[in-house]
Amino acid sequence: MRISHRLFGRAAIDAAQPGSLAVSLLERLEPAELEELERYGRESLGEAALDRWQLPVVAAFGFLFVGRLAGETVASAQVIRCRREGDLYMDGLYVRERFRGRGLGGALLQGVLGQLAGQGSFRRLLVTVDPGNAAALALYRARGFRVVDEMPHFYGLGADRLLLAAALKDGPA
Ligand SMILES: CC(C)(COP(=O)(O)OP(=O)(O)OC[C@H]1O[C@@H](n2cnc3c(N)ncnc32)[C@H](O)[C@@H]1OP(=O)(O)O)[C@@H](O)C(=O)NCCC(=O)NCCS
């Protein structure tokens, strides 16, 4: 089985940190890679992470991004198409805990937005965020995401979410 890894960009991070984040789109996952991504997701997002039954589906039929630092996978994000034409939805963006706070989340998001915008046919990238997740809200807002809806009890009683959107083409999100 051929593993397809497309490298489409490098985003510079904090000048004090040598190296840069390489953001790749994975279309198929090696067994070891799947195990690794499942583990990193669980460590970062707990039970909200995509598992081994969902990650390969996103890789094959959606967009599975990983961010690597000197060859080591440190971050990931998964994107699927929405029912509404032109909309994409991002799930499970994370940076592994010990790599946080040095711009890698921003570099990953920049790579994801750049790649998706380059596809041409998509208008918006949507994401839902826990209103109490200050780090995620700061990350998204700094890269053009705006709150477009409130979703009370989205993940069950009291588990509210904000719906954020960023424009992938010129125009409103
Ligand atoms: C959210 C997350 C991806 C950010 O990754 P990161 O690599 O630490 O992010 P960065 O270093 O690029 O910082 C991004 C922004 O958030 C800000 N930030 C980081 N941690 C913060 C915190 N605890 N509170 C407030 N702001 C914070 C930074 O100042 C930065 O702002 P700027 O872009 O205006 O400079 C990371 O915290 C994470 O993986 N969290 C667990 C998973 C999660 O919550 N994912 C989001 C699901 S919607």
Per-residue pLDDT of the chain (173 residues; tens, 9 = 90+): 444 444 443 333 333 344 699 999 999 999 999 999 999 999 999 999 999 999 999 999 999 999 999 999 999 999 999 999 999 999 989 999 999 999 999 999 999 999 999 987 999 999 999 999 999 999 999 999 999 999 999 999 999 999 999 999 876 77
d(CA 123, CA 167): 6
Q: Is 90 in the pocket of ligand 1 (CB under 6 A)?
A: no
- Judge if the beta carbon of residue 48 lies within 6 A of ligand 1: no
CA of 107 relative to ligand 1 center, distance in Å: 11
Q: Where are the domains of the chain?
A: 5-167
100 lines ligand 1 (CB under 6 A): yes
This prediction's pTM = 0.89
Question: Using the 8-state DSSP alphabet, how is residue 100 labeled?
Answer: T
> Is ligand 1 within 6 A of the CB of residue 142?
yes
User: Which tokens in the block code for residue 12?
Assistant: 């510079």
Q: At what angle do helices 104-118 and 134-142 cross, to 10 degrees?
A: 50
CATH, domain 5-167, list 3.30.70.100, 3.40.630.30, 3.40.5.50, 3.40.640.10: 3.40.630.30
Beta bridge partners of 87: 124
Task: Please work out whether the CB of residue 105 comes within 6 Å of at least one atom of ligand 1.
Answer: yes
Ligand 1 atom nearest to CA at 107: 12
